[in-house]
Amino acid sequence: MVLAFLTLPFQKKMMELNVRGLSEEQLQKAAEGFDKYAPLSLITVPIFLIVVYLVLAGIVHLAINIMSSRSSYKKTLSLVSFCGIITIIEQIISTAVLRMRGVESVESAADLKFSLSLAPLLGEGKGLLNAVLQSLSIFSIWYYVVLVLGIAAIFRITRKAAIIPVLPIWIFGILVLWIGGKYGGGMG
């Protein structure tokens, strides 16, 4: 919630830059809507994250359930939630870098992207390869490794077998980045 609050000025700046090419009237309505509904987004972000964790835990649990008789949704949800701390650390660092750059330095959507992956080596790529490289940031790799080790330890399966439940999450992440990149969004 704090990170969402800290990024609100950047979101407003992006809207003011009018990257969508809205008319002056549409832009003014959008600005009014942003001011009106921005506080609501601070409430919806944590709710959205809870739903995401529940779904991710469900996906992982389905795969673990096939492989281990010791599967438990509670344990899987706990593991996914604790591994989520790694992604929060990445978001804290990204938000801190953006705040240090300042809102006035934002001149395009590219200025809001901060990546600790190999994707910047491709430049402004938007293809599937770019999405794969974005999904392999330092923190994402750390997340997947901890998730694999946690699955292996908690459910007493081999590390090689523990990779299988993590693959759908990684593939889903790639698809989200790829689709987001196609439509001008995507994560930095």
26-42: buried (b, 16+ CB within 10 Å) or exposed (e) per residue? ebeebeeeeeeeeeebe
pLDDT tens for the chain, 188 residues long, are: 677 777 777 777 777 776 667 777 887 787 788 778 778 877 888 899 899 999 999 999 999 998 887 889 999 999 999 999 999 999 889 888 888 888 888 777 667 777 778 777 776 667 888 888 888 889 999 999 999 999 999 999 999 999 999 999 999 889 988 887 776 554 44
For residue 154, what pLDDT is reported?
94
- Provide CB contacts within 8 A for 170, sequence distance 6+: 135, 144
Residue 46 CA to residue 145 CA, distance in Å, equals 25
Helix %, strand %, coil % of the chain (to 5): 80, 0, 20
Whether the Cβ atoms of residue 64 and residue 164 lie closer than 8 Å to each other: no
Using DSSP's 3-state secondary structure scheme, residue 127 falls into coil
DSSP symbols for 130-178: HHHHHTT-HHHHHHHHHHHHHHHHHHT--HHHHHHHHHHHHHHHHHHHH
For residue 186, what pLDDT is reported?
45
Whether the Cβ atoms of residue 74 and residue 54 lie closer than 8 Å to each other: no
Q: Whose structure tokens read 């950047």? A: 10
For residue 133, what pLDDT is reported?
87
Q: Whose structure tokens read 């959507």? A: 109
pTM of the predicted structure, to 2 decimals: 0.80
For residue 82, what pLDDT is reported?
95
State the chain's maximal CA–CA distance in angstroms: 60
